Amino acid sequence: MNQNILVAIAATVGLVTGAGGTYLATLEPKVETQAISKAELVAAISADPSLCPIPKVEAPTEAEATAAYRKAHAASPLVWDRNDRPDISVALGQCDKTGSGPGVACMTSIKMSPEARPIDRIVGFSRSASGEWIATIN
C-alpha cells in the first residue's frame, strides 16, 4: 500500500476515535439520585434517632461540682487562711467538651457564702484515675 493511504487511514481512525470520545464525555449524565425533602428527613430521624446521634457530654452533678470546686479552692495558693473556709456553693449551667484537653468546661454560678452575690465563670472538670471529679479554676 501507498504510504499516503496508510497516513490517511490512521488520521481518519484517530479523528473518529477523538470525536467519539468527545461525544461520550459530553453526554448528559443520568440522574440516579434525588434530593430528600425536609419532611422525609425529619420523618426518617424521628423513626430512627440513631441516624442523627446527639453527643452526650459526661458532666458532674451539682454536688460533685461543689465538692471538686471546694477542694480546688482550698488547694489554691491564693487562699491565705486555711482554717476559715467559706461555705462555697456551685450552680452548674451548660457544660461542653473542652477543646484543649480531657473533661468538660461548665458555666457555673459560684457563691462564696449563702448571702454573697454569685460569680459567673467557666470552670473545667475532669475525672481523676479514681473516678473523682477534679475542678480546674482559671
Over the chain, what is the mean pLDDT? 83
Q: Are residues 34 and 69 in the same domain?
A: no
Q: Which domain holds residue 27?
A: 3-51
Q: Are residues 78 and 47 in the same domain?
A: no
Give a yes or no: residue 56 inside a domain: no
Q: Are residues 93 and 132 in the same domain?
A: yes
Around 74, how many Cα atoms within 13 Å sit in the side-chain half-sphere? 14
Tens of pLDDT, residues 73-119: 888 877 777 667 678 899 999 999 888 888 899 999 999 888 889 99
Output the pTM of the full model: 0.58
Give a yes or no: residue 25 inside a domain: yes
Q: What values do phi and psi take at 26, rounded to 5?
A: -100, 10
Q: Are residues 70 and 35 in the same domain?
A: no
Q: Are residues 71 and 33 in the same domain?
A: no
Please tell me the total count of domains within the chain. 2
Q: Is pLDDT above 90 for 120? A: yes
Q: Are residues 89 and 122 in the same domain?
A: yes
Q: Is pLDDT above 70 for 131? A: yes
Give the chain's radius of gyration (CA, Å).
34
